[in-house]
Amino acid sequence: MPAQKALPVVVGISGASGSAMARRTIDRLLEMEVPVVATCSSAARQVWQEEMEQPFRDVLETWLEHPLFTYYPIGDLIAPLASGTYATRGMVVVPCSMATVAAVAHGLVTNLLHRAADVCIKERRRLVLVPRETPLSPIHLENLLTLARLGVTVLSPEPAFYLRPKSVDDIVEFVVERALVAVGVLPAMSDKLTYHPRSE
Ligand SMILES: Cc1cc2nc3c(=O)[nH]c(=O)nc-3n(C[C@H](O)[C@H](O)[C@H](O)COP(=O)(O)O)c2cc1C
């Protein structure tokens, strides 16, 4: 059995707003020398183009220079992570669109990201979704509830206003930290991101 640290974390990037969270999640994992296996939907690439300064393909090229980073195209349904026999630590879908939430909640596998999430559920591995949409319709809420009842962590990217974030980067950092705690890579929140009442 490989050591836990040697097992990869799967990162799925779907087409919700919040490309910066995807970027920071992968950067943070690689900084910690945690192997990453990633895939990214076509919609996610389009949203990335709207939200980020650096094109996705340039960032992907930089990630691919890291020996612990592996990337599979979204249509590659014979990639290793499409099988439960490929051991992983779990998966973070960040950001997670409502379309992907619906597909995963109903076991509809139309791409590699859906399949990798489906594998996490069937193998009872940690699956953390960072869904982003507002307002949420009853359809979104029912799908999220279905997933939460299956043991999936639904970690919406809400700022902790009481930590007084000074920038979008602060909010991104907080959400990514929480997602990495939820997937079991970080033992707990760092002191910087922990609530210390000012009245103490
Ligand atoms: C600029 C932009 C922002 C979007 N933001 C969201 C979002 O926050 N949440 C969401 O569920 N869909 C959002 N969408 C729509 C999704 O990209 C779309 O539903 C897509 O089919 C999702 O596919 P995927 O889940 O395969 O990535 C956005 C689309 C665009 C172009």
Taking only the tens place, the pLDDT of each residue in 93-147 is 999 999 999 999 999 999 999 999 999 999 999 999 999 999 999 999 999 999 9
Phi then psi for residue 123, to 5 deg, are: -90, 0
Mean local confidence (pLDDT), 20-37: 98
What is the CA(100)–ligand 1 centre distance, in A?
A: 9
* Residue range 7-193 in CATH 3.40.50.1950: yes
Q: Which residues line ligand 1 (CB under 6 A)?
A: 14-17, 41, 43-44, 46-47, 50, 97-100, 132-133
Mean pLDDT of the chain: 95
**Cα angle vertex 167, ends 58, 51, to 5°?**
35
Distance in angstroms (rounded) separating the CA atoms of residues 149 and 127? 12
Distance in angstroms (rounded) separating the CA atoms of residues 193 and 54? 27
What is the CA(59)–ligand 1 centre distance, in A?
A: 20
pLDDT tens, position by position, 34-73: 999 999 999 999 999 999 999 999 999 999 999 999 999 9
13, 39, 47: residue to mutate for ligand 1 pocket, most atoms within 8 A of CB: 47
Residue 165: pLDDT band (50, 70, 90) is: very high
What is the CA(96)–ligand 1 centre distance, in A?
A: 8
